[in-house]
Structure 1
Amino acid sequence: MRTELAVDSWQATRDTLHMWTQIVGKIRMALTPSVNHWWHVTLYLSARGLSTGPIPVPGGILDMEFDFVEHRLVLRSSDGERRYLPLAGQSVASFYAATMDALGSLGVEVEIHPVPNEVEVAIPFAEDTEHCTYDPEQAQAFWHQLIDAGTQLQRFRSRFIGKVSPVHYFWGAMDLAVTRFSGRTAPMHPGGAPNCPDSVMHEGYSHELSSAGFWPGGGAEGAYYSYAYPAPAGFADAEVPEGAYFSDALGEFLLPYEVVRAAADPDALVQAFLEATYRAAAELGEWPVLTA
């Protein structure tokens, strides 16, 4: 059964969790060798929540996981050491301090840019006492939405035989995404994301792509999205399944999660949306045929 979670109902928890995942994501970014399109900064779904996966550190491996079952941040090192930080009752400032202290106790030294990205108001982590709400049921419900979306995106990913990203969580916008590439370079992206250097977008969009995912926006309960860069002529007019539409404001197709939940065959609807929007990008853009 798909989880109902109205976007407006969990804004306080969402905003706090957004900042917490940015902190952990920036730690991964600082410690991990760079990979094209910023694939080295993302988090991944796990059986407990969201994980960094293995991070190389001197003498071994570190991983960090948001555990949405027991509602704690877990830090594990390959020498057997563990640290646990409760998620409830913490501001961003206290979470940031506790996380950096826990890393230090594991012998991990790291410096990050301690200010959030891709938000209009960027409060430095060490000063952010405004975001301090964590509702365990809401966080777990969001994780369940991500699990559902992850299953759909993995199925969609498997049909592509060209260059394709993992299914991964970008903490800048809280979206779970998968991206297919045509193999051709793209015009330089204009940038413009709030509190984010244009160079980030230049690298992320260096090659022609069709990207799809899920994020807690775009609908009353979140939405699947799909866009192309650069968008070929006629892309916005492509036929998509009933309930989906092109958002001029966002420049992408949306399929609200509440539409998916109400569908007679939700899985088929999501796959049809993902396939139709990719086909629009690939056929109008004259991509090579790269599906199995």
Structure 2
Amino acid sequence: MEKTFLNYPDWQDTADTIHLFLQVAGKVKVERCAPRPEWEHVLLYLLPDGLTTGLIPGDNSPFSVFFDFRQHQVEFRNGEGKRVDIPLEDGLSVADFYKQFNNALEQLGSPTPLCVKAQQFYEPVDLDKDEKHHTYDKIAIRKWLQSLFFAYKAMSLYLAPFHGKIHYPAYYFGRMDLSCMVFNGELVANPSGNKIVNKALDEGMYACGFWPGDISSPQAAFYALPYPFIEDLKDNTALLQPDKAIFKPDKKEFFLALEDAFSYPNPEKAVVSFFKSGFDTLQQIQPWRNLNFVSKQ
């Protein structure tokens, strides 16, 4: 991978627009797919040219939605051979995209009423009325996609030795992150009344991912999140690798900035080491009962 990267301020206008475009597709999966634990049914999947919903149940025929960031268009296809495209270009507002997206679903024979409120966004946005976000920088999109490819490979290498239940790397449209998870097989009751939190945090797990940053945390970064949460590292700070990785008690997460990862001779190795060391730290503080599903590399 070319050693270039974007932090959130470098492409904020485009990042926000794409974030909201992809939320529209994610919301279709929320409405049409059978609910799965940890919101597995709403994931988007990485392909060489972009992101896809995968197969979605339709009214008369299943369909998929593919964001092609090489040809810069959104492709709708169904099981009857119908296809509808939406060009992606600078100046296309979220409101216009939302209208065209719904028209495409109607043409496929699967109109889908959606909640228009943006999820986990830093300001209140109604997707059907949003004219503010309309920036599409093709160069920035490609750099972001390259970061996702790099993150996907690192996460795949980290996951390789696990025999137990895992979620392979996929895109979560709420926070715009690409993440994976390994689970310990124990259900955990979450006291929160928040529907999203309760669905996401109902089982002991260790999540790893890549996040492009946002208005409050502008650095693109890799993260690792144990659940149940850990409050501090106690006497285990030396386990966390590489040396620029940190633990943020307020977030209860481990972080390694993308920029810092590329400061090492082997960035990929640094990221995999980061994921592994976070898991090892978790096992010292909050050991899982059964680690037989973890092979030694």
Shorter-chain TM-score: which interval?
A: over 0.9
Q: For 2:149 and 2:191, locate their aligned partners in 1 and report how far apart those are by CA, in whole Å.
A: 31
Unaligned runs of 5+ in 1: 192-197
Residues 172-211 of structure 1 correspond to what in structure 2 (within 5 A)? 172-190=174-192, 198-211=194-207
Counterpart residue number, 2:228? 230
Counterpart residue number, 2:166? 164
Deviation at 1:220, TM superposition (A): 6.1
Question: Does the CA contact (< 8 Å) of 1:116 and 1:124 recur in 2?
Answer: yes
Residues 15-54 of structure 1 correspond to what in structure 2 (within 5 A)? 15-54=16-55
Q: For 1:78 and 1:187, locate their aligned partners in 2 and report how far apart those are by CA, in whole Å.
A: 40
Deviation at 1:91, TM superposition (A): 0.6
Specify the code of the residue in structure 2 equivalent to 1:152: A
- Cα deviations across residues 17-44 of structure 1 (Å, max 9, x unaligned)? 1111111110122111111111000101
Give the structure-1-normalised TM-score: 0.93
Q: Alpha carbon RMSD of aligned pairs, Å?
A: 1.7
Question: Does the CA contact (< 8 Å) of 2:231 and 2:252 recur in 1?
Answer: no
Q: For 2:123 and 2:264, locate their aligned partners in 1 and report how far apart those are by CA, in whole Å.
A: 37
Deviation at 1:189, TM superposition (A): 4.8
Question: Does the CA contact (< 8 Å) of 2:213 and 2:219 recur in 1?
Answer: yes
Describe the SS at the equivalent of 2:62. Answer: strand
Deviation at 1:165, TM superposition (A): 1.1
Q: For 2:54 and 2:286, locate their aligned partners in 1 and report how far apart those are by CA, in whole Å.
A: 35
Question: Does the CA contact (< 8 Å) of 1:189 and 1:201 recur in 2?
Answer: no
Unaligned runs of 5+ in 2: none
Question: Does the CA contact (< 8 Å) of 1:211 and 1:226 recur in 2?
Answer: yes
- Cα deviations across residues 166-215 of structure 1 (Å, max 9, x unaligned)? 21100100000001111112241536xxxxxx022112101111111001
After superposition, the Cα gap between the structure-2 partners of 1:281 and 1:187, relative to the gap in structure 1 and judged at 3 Å, is farther
Match of 1:291 among 285, 289, 294: 294
Match of 2:114 among 97, 112, 115: 112
Q: For 1:77 and 1:210, locate their aligned partners in 2 and report how far apart those are by CA, in whole Å.
A: 36
Question: Does the CA contact (< 8 Å) of 2:56 and 2:62 recur in 1?
Answer: yes
Question: Does the CA contact (< 8 Å) of 1:210 and 1:226 recur in 2?
Answer: yes
Moved over 6 A (4+): none
Counterpart residue number, 2:58? 57
Counterpart residue number, 2:127? 125
Match of 2:105 among 80, 103, 106: 103
Q: For 1:222 and 1:257, locate their aligned partners in 2 and report how far apart those are by CA, in whole Å.
A: 6
Q: For 1:11 and 1:172, locate their aligned partners in 2 and report how far apart those are by CA, in whole Å.
A: 16
After superposition, the Cα gap between the structure-2 partners of 1:232 and 1:126, relative to the gap in structure 1 and judged at 3 Å, is closer
Q: For 2:276 and 2:191, locate their aligned partners in 1 and report how far apart those are by CA, in whole Å.
A: 25
- Cα deviations across residues 109-152 of structure 1 (Å, max 9, x unaligned)? 21111111112322111111111111111111111100110111
Describe the SS at the equivalent of 2:165. Answer: coil
Counterpart residue number, 2:254? 253
Counterpart residue number, 1:212? 208
Q: For 1:187 and 1:106, locate their aligned partners in 2 and report how far apart those are by CA, in whole Å.
A: 40
Specify the code of the residue in structure 2 equivalent to 1:243: K
- Of 128-137 and 281-290, deviating more is 281-290
Counterpart residue number, 1:195? none
Match of 1:152 among 151, 154, 161: 154
Question: Does the CA contact (< 8 Å) of 1:179 and 1:212 recur in 2?
Answer: yes
